[in-house]
């Protein structure tokens, strides 16, 4: 008997039209992406209108610059932009050998012009001047503003990088650093960009170093310059460090090289806390490990406080940050909402011993995407200074309670969920 042939034809009733499936999946994916993107755009437009009606221009408490000695280096804390800018400009005016200036944003306003003139004057008297600015952050600035005299060497960090189209954050992040180093002896770092708005209307924190620890910021500038310079720009000499100062070190994120120490210093310090943790952040969207670290600290009795703007200049960041509030408040972390003005500082102090001041926010973009720099300082004197600053800022903040947070509107709760997929962008 001949073998029976198996019918391999799929019955019509169960055949699958893969073209339709692909179209359906594609449309579903597009819809899934469109919903949070549309919601995000709506939130930003709404908050922009609200911001025009209620600008963040209220007065806020500040303190005069205060100085403490850290391991043979004088460290000065600034909480008001106008004070900082005067001392930065005075340092540039007094430069005899070198000026290294790096800024994420450099506005073409009166304050920006003062800095531009200062570096031009320094170059004219024979000082070697090197300038770095971020191309993307300054797209709204007229290109003519960045035309310097030929003696000023200028590195424009590319506005658009290869990872932007594929959303590969480590290959598309920005140069978010703010550094000034003069004559290898005086150095500044912190949250302040350059512009009139930041001089008087934003609460930020910057640190000035005078002494051997200035090398930390010089070295950071030199390494970045040599990494990103074009062939027309000279190589800067790496001089090495004559002094080792373990109590004051710079942590530098370099995403293209997969180097992210700032996140590490936060995690290590939070894990060590036994008394208190005071964090001030402009945009606070902690990842799972940092969130869990703060919750674990609170659970073992540490007084954990996070101070953030009640309304920042980036509304989407505010909404994404609120997605963490339920866990934080329920876990005993206290949230302080800064009132009436933008607080842009990126600082923390723990147990009266450990502190950090720098450029990195606690969010995905800063900790794994942008070039950032934070100083890590283990010193009770500087910790005391920053605790005083934190208490000053608390005097202009209100505490968000768990009961108040639970009573927010259902619409707000829905918006937080809808916007959550946009978190990788920040």
Per-domain boundaries in the chain: 66-244, 257-425
Which of 45-49, 160-164, 332-336: highest mean pLDDT?
332-336
Does the pTM surpass 0.85? The reply is: yes
Residue 39 clears pLDDT 50, i.e. is over it: no
Paired tokens of 204? 């930020």
Q: For 300, how many CA atoms within 13 A lie in the half-sphere containing its CB?
A: 13
Which residues does 129 contact at the CB level (< 8 Å), separation at least 6?
98, 99, 101, 119, 122, 123, 151, 152, 153
CA separation for the pair 279, 351 (Å, rounded): 12
* Residue 273 burial (C-beta neighbours within 10 Å; 0-12, 13-18, 19+): buried
- Rounded to an integer, the average pLDDT of 244-256 is 93
* Residue 71 burial (C-beta neighbours within 10 Å; 0-12, 13-18, 19+): middle
CATH top class, domain 66-244: alpha beta
Residues 14-32: tens digit of each pLDDT: 566 767 666 666 565 554 5
Nearest C-alpha neighbor of 193 from the set 209, 206, 211: 206
**Tell me, what's the pLDDT at 349?**
98
**Tell me, what's the pLDDT at 283?**
96
CA separation for the pair 399, 401 (Å, rounded): 6
- CATH classification of 257-425 is 3.30.870.10, yes or no? yes
- Report whether 367 contacts 287 (CB < 8 A): yes
Q: Are 66-244 and 257-425 equal in CATH topology?
A: yes
Nearest C-alpha neighbor of 360 from the set 378, 372, 345: 372
- Report whether 32 contacts 44 (CB < 8 A): no
Residue 302 clears pLDDT 60, i.e. is over it: yes
Q: For 238, how many CA atoms within 13 A lie in the half-sphere containing its CB?
A: 9
**Tell me, what's the pLDDT at 4?**
52
Query: Confidence class of residue 40 from pLDDT cuts 50, 70 and 90?
Result: very low
């Amino acid at each position: 008997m001949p073998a029976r042939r198996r019918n391999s034809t799929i019955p019509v009733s169960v055949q699958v039209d893969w073209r339709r499936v692909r179209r359906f999946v594609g449309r579903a994916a597009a819809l899934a992406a469109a919903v949070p993107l549309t919601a995000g755009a709506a939130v930003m437009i709404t908050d922009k209108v609200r911001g025009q009606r209620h600008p963040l221009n209220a007065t806020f408490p500040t303190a005069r610059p205060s100085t403490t000695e850290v391991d043979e280096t004088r460290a000065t804390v600034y909480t008001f932009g106008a004070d900082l800018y005067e001392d930065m400009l005075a340092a540039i005016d007094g430069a005899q050998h070198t000026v290294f200036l790096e800024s994420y944003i450099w506005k073409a306003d009166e304050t920006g012009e003062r800095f531009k003139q200062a570096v031009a004057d320094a170059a004219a008297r024979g000082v070697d001047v090197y300038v770095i600015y971020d191309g993307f952050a300054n797209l709204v600035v007229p290109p003519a503003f960045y035309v310097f005299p030929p003696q000023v060497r200028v590195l424009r960090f590319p506005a658009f990088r290869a990872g932007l189209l594929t959303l590969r954050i480590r290959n598309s992040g920005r140069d978010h650093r703010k550094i000034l180093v003069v004559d290898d002896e005086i150095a500044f770092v912190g949250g302040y960009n350059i512009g009139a708005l930041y001089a008087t209307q934003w609460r930020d924190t910057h640190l000035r170093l005078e002494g051997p620890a200035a090398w930390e910021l010089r070295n950071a500038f030199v390494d970045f310059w040599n990494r990103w310079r074009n062939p027309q720009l000279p190589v800067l000499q790496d001089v090495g460090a004559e002094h080792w100062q373990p109590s004051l070190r710079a942590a530098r994120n370099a995403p293209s090289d997969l180097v992210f120490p700032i996140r590490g210093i936060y995690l290590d310090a939070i894990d060590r806390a036994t008394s208190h943790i005071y964090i001030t952040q402009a945009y606070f969207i902690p990842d799972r490990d940092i969130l869990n670290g703060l919750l674990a600290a609170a659970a073992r009795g540490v007084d954990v406080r996070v101070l953030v703007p009640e309304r920042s200049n980036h509304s989407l960041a505010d909404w994404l940050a609120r997605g963490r509030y339920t866990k934080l408040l329920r876990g005993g972390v206290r949230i302080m909402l800064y009132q009436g003005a933008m607080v842009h500082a990126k600082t923390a102090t723990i147990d009266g011993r450990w502190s950090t001041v720098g450029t990195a926010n606690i969010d995905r973009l800063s900790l794994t995407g942008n070039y950032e720099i934070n100083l890590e300082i283990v010193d009770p004197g500087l910790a005391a200074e920053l605790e005083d600053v934190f208490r000053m800022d608390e005097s202009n903040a209100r505490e968000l309670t768990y009961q108040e947070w639970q009573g927010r509107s259902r619409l707000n709760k829905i918006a937080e969920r809808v916007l959550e997929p946009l978190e990788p962008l920040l």
